[in-house]
Amino acid sequence: MAKIAINIATGSLQQAEMIVGIDLGTTNSLVAIIHPESKQPVALKEHDSSSLVPSVVHFDSLGNATVGETAKQYLVSDPANTIFSAKRLMGKSYNDIKQNANFFTYKVIDDDTESLVKVQVGDKFYSPIELSSFILKELKQRAEHILKTPVTKAVITVPAYFNDAQRQATRDAGKLAGLDVLRIVNEPTAASLAYGLGTNTADASTIAVYDLGGGTFDVSILNIENGVFEVLSTNGDTYLGGDDVDRLLVHHFMEQFELSDTELAGDKMLTQELRLLAEACKKALSSNTVFETTFRGESIRVERSFFEQLIQPIIDKTLACCKQAIADAGITIAAIEHVVMVGGSTRIPAIKAAVSNFFQKPVNDTVNPDEVVALGAAVQADILAGNNKDFLLLDITPLSLGIETMGGLMDVLIPRNSKIPTKVGRQYTTSKDGQSGMRISVYQGERDMVKDNRKLAEFNLTGIPAMPAGLPKVEVCFLVNADGILVVTAKELRSGVEQSIEVKPQYGLTDADVEQMLLDSITHAKDDMQLRALVEARTEGEQLLGQTEKFLSKHANALTQDELLNTAAAMQALQLAITMDDKDLIHQKIEQLNEISRPYAERVMDTAIAVAMKGKTIEEEL
């Protein structure tokens, strides 16, 4: 299969061009490239400013978005309209994040369902994909401004533990920002590449990547062989990082100034000042052994040894994760040849020392830990651009492969540029009670609606035993073998009924066709995304109406007169909204109906209905 390079600006095929590497981080994001002259990776920055762009989006009263340092200023003064940590919401449903819901100071829609979360700002609803696309758009514009050339292709990094849905969401965010995402790369893989580990294809080695950022910690154990990086295990704590170090120091200062939690809660200004003081103290102690200043007229002195004692519990937690990761990888500490440090918090000397001591070897810490992932992404981008001939490029799928789901949407199972051979399975369910068959339509292409993609095959899975909607578990599996042949299998797991089909995805497509399909996907990304959001909102609305009707037919007598009247009015309003082209209006009406039904649904909900409400559905009934 061909590796295709397209200049989106001119629409022409090219052999080599600059592809940027992007680290889309929870706290900060940045762009790096391979410098055309020095051939070394460099992080892009404007003159004296930092290369880091805070991953924060602020919306003003008109709904206009600003990103980065300017947006960060609003975190304290306008928390409801300032979105941080959108990465934590990527590919997640509310059920996935509800234990940490208090973490978010903005409104995350809390419908207790399996569908993907949305964030409400004023009367608008944003998906995490849209929020991330604002950040990527800002990075793209910055890069174009600095490089004075259009930037259309990128490699984007994600945590090694990101699942398929989270990776797909990251790709979609890139597409929405006008970027052709050539590859999604694991952050620890990128960090290792930045240190040149694995670039010698003959080497086989085992690497530990310790990543302690502002809000998250993860450790990955990688094995590199013949230029292929395999993640052996990952471990970590998605709510542990430099912010916790800051909080310990804030607590220490509160004790010194005899401030109570309630005093602090009522004074946003003081809270913010103390947080900044704590961060300044922590950073100073990374290079000095004592920190001295005055705060509101009082003198402050913190010694490094005291600070190290204070944060020891945090260090211990991270080392426990390392221990578990090594056990899960089925290796011993001695088998690890290199340790790579990532994330701003690894600048703390006590952390470096503890990690080095744990792994019994010096750590790789010469590359800026905030930039190392983006720099590695740039190395990977350069390999994809064909500039690094030593690297073996494995065969890849030139276009995404997926199936049709409700509303004519494309659900991608194998994203374009995936290495082959590859195998992906995903579960679907029925939308109607007693549904006995399902039509599986296989498509190829990058557009969100299947009608804009190329149909490869279609077959029927029949003989599903009669069950209530939502109960059957149909696993659709895509296998692309080393010859590029796609085998699609659908199997109902409860009954074991199975069907399969074989197709040649590339058949009849020229490079120019593939190029045109890719160009179309980027030109139409915004419209496609809006249409997808509308179709999804309508589907969600219709499902909710169906569920509510079903619920009422069984439990109407358990409801008060007011509840019945309010429900009928909210259902009518939702029905009307579905006929219009405004996804925000549909979400508002869904919210309103949920608000009304939640109290009585909780009262009488039976588990069978709860189960039936779950899962994705394929519309087609035979």
27 binds ligand AMP (CB under 6 A): yes
- 551-562 burial code (b ≥16 CB/10 A, e <16): bbeebeeebeee
- 508-542 burial code (b ≥16 CB/10 A, e <16): ebeeeebbebbbbbbebbeebbebbbbbbbbbbbb
**552: Cβ contacts below 8 Å, ≥ 6 apart:** 559, 564, 567
Give whichever of 18 and 340 is closer to ligand AMP, judged by the CB atom.
Answer: 340
Q: How far is the CB of 41 from ligand AMP (least distance, A)?
A: 17
159 binds ligand AMP (CB under 6 A): no
- Binding to ligand AMP (CB under 6 A): which residues in 206-235? 213-214
Give the range of 103-111, 238-246, 309-317, 613-621 binding ligand AMP by CB under 6 A.
Answer: 238-246
H-state helical runs in 266-368: 268-287, 304-329, 349-359
Give whichever of 192 and 345 is closer to ligand AMP, judged by the CB atom.
Answer: 345
**617: Cβ contacts below 8 Å, ≥ 6 apart:** 405, 406, 428, 429, 430, 431, 469, 470, 543
Answer whether 258's CB lies under 8 Å from 362's CB: no
CA angle, 322 then 326 then 327, to 5°: 115
Catalytic residue among 72, 87, 118, 583: 87
87 binds ligand AMP (CB under 6 A): no
CB atoms within 10 A of CB 289: 11
- In the three-class reduction of DSSP (H, G, I as helix; E, B as strand; rest coil), residue 239 is classed as coil
- 178-196 burial code (b ≥16 CB/10 A, e <16): bbbbbbbbbbbbbbbbbbe
Backbone angles phi, psi at 290, to 5 degrees: -145, 145
Q: How far is the CB of 244 from ligand AMP (least distance, A)?
A: 9
Q: How far is the CB of 238 from ligand AMP (least distance, A)?
A: 12
Give whichever of 24 and 486 is closer to ligand AMP, judged by the CB atom.
Answer: 24
And the tokens for 267? 């004074």
- 250-266 burial code (b ≥16 CB/10 A, e <16): bbbbbeeeebeeeebee
Answer whether 249's CB lies under 8 Å from 257's CB: no
Q: How far is the CB of 346 from ligand AMP (least distance, A)?
A: 8
25 binds ligand AMP (CB under 6 A): yes
Give whichever of 48 and 602 is closer to ligand AMP, judged by the CB atom.
Answer: 48
Give whichever of 347 and 538 is closer to ligand AMP, judged by the CB atom.
Answer: 347
- In the three-class reduction of DSSP (H, G, I as helix; E, B as strand; rest coil), residue 133 is classed as helix
Contact flags string 327-346 toward ligand AMP, x per CB under 6 A: ----------------xxx-
283 binds ligand AMP (CB under 6 A): yes
Q: How far is the CB of 378 from ligand AMP (least distance, A)?
A: 17
Question: What distance in Å separates the CA atoms of residue 588 and residue 585, rounded to the nearest whole number?
Answer: 5
User: For this structure, is 211 an active site residue?
Assistant: yes
Q: In what order do the strands lie in the sheet with 338-342?
A: 228-237, 217-225, 204-212, 338-342
Give whichever of 201 and 286 is closer to ligand AMP, judged by the CB atom.
Answer: 286
Catalytic residue among 187, 237, 515, 620: 187
For the chain, what's the residue count? Answer: 622
Query: Which of 111, 138, 187, 370 touches ligand AMP (CB under 6 A)?
Result: 370
User: For this structure, is 87 an active site residue?
Assistant: yes
Give the range of 43-51, 113-121, 241-249, 443-451 binding ligand AMP by CB under 6 A.
Answer: 241-249
Number of chain residues interacting with ligand AMP (CB under 6 A): 18
Give the range of 155-163, 282-290, 453-461, 536-544 binding ligand AMP by CB under 6 A.
Answer: 282-290
Q: How far is the CB of 543 from ligand AMP (least distance, A)?
A: 38
Give whichever of 73 and 93 is closer to ligand AMP, judged by the CB atom.
Answer: 73
Question: What distance in Å separates the CA atoms of residue 305 and residue 123, rounded to the nearest whole number?
Answer: 50
279 binds ligand AMP (CB under 6 A): yes
Query: Which of 142, 282, 304, 589 touches ligand AMP (CB under 6 A)?
Result: 282
- In the three-class reduction of DSSP (H, G, I as helix; E, B as strand; rest coil), residue 32 is classed as strand
Question: What distance in Å separates the CA atoms of residue 197 and residue 343, rounded to the nearest whole number?
Answer: 18
Give whichever of 368 and 500 is closer to ligand AMP, judged by the CB atom.
Answer: 368
Backbone angles phi, psi at 431, to 5 degrees: -105, -10
Catalytic residue among 130, 138, 172, 211: 211
Contact flags string 52-71 toward ligand AMP, x per CB under 6 A: --------------------
Q: How far is the CB of 247 from ligand AMP (least distance, A)?
A: 11
Q: Count CA within 13 A, CB hemisphere, residue 280.
A: 14
Q: How far is the CB of 241 from ligand AMP (least distance, A)?
A: 6
Q: Strand locations in 532-609, DSSP E?
A: none
17 binds ligand AMP (CB under 6 A): no
User: For this structure, is 527 an active site residue?
Assistant: no
User: For this structure, is 187 an active site residue?
Assistant: yes
Q: How far is the CB of 263 from ligand AMP (least distance, A)?
A: 25
Q: Count CA within 13 A, CB hemisphere, residue 504.
A: 6
244 binds ligand AMP (CB under 6 A): no
Give contact residues for ligand AMP (rule: CB under 6 A). Answer: 25, 27-28, 213-214, 241-243, 279, 282-283, 286, 343-345, 347-348, 370
Residues annotated as catalytic are 23, 87, 187, 211
